[in-house]
Amino acid sequence: MIMKRLMLLCLPVLLLIAGCTLFKTSCDHHDQTIKKVPNMEHTLAIIKPDAVKAHNSGKIIDRIEQEGFEIVGMKKINLSLAQAQSFYAVHKERPFYGELVEFMTSGPVVVMALAKDNAVKAWRDLMGATNPAQAESNTIRKLYGASVGENATHGSDAPETAAEEVKFFFPELS
């Protein structure tokens, strides 16, 4: 029983790591890209460096799938300074921008394009409040986040933003 549960928790990570072999895709950054799902809303999810470092990626990926999301694209990457600055440019004038960019380039992240009816809202609900201390129980940020700055995940805030964010990491899906 314990072995079976361990295998179920580890399977998403193993698929991510072995994705280039199993899915005959490019091995650049352990890329596992499938295809856009028509007639479903898409959103971007990022498992941030704190959650990757704490070995929570597999648990988060498993939870995403258990909640009915389809993962249509997944990459484990190290964001460059230029990528992080560009992706978070909307926050450039905010006091936390420099710290955010530094944090997002501090280690690998897992970026995912997710599909589901009302994907943006569903993913934001599953993540929980930005501040893990204020997040509802059993949300990803409550379970795996440590602070407002290190809160385990990122999610698009609107369908229009989601389209741009998915395109940033998965141009082949746009």
One of 29, 30, 91, 154 is an active-site residue; which one? 154
Q: Annotated catalytic, 91?
A: no
Between the alpha carbon of residue 111 and those of residues 3, 82, 96, 132, 136, the distances in Å are 28, 16, 21, 20, 24
84-91's contacts with Cβ under 8 Å and 24+ in sequence apart are: 86/168, 87/165, 87/168
Enzyme catalytic residues = 154
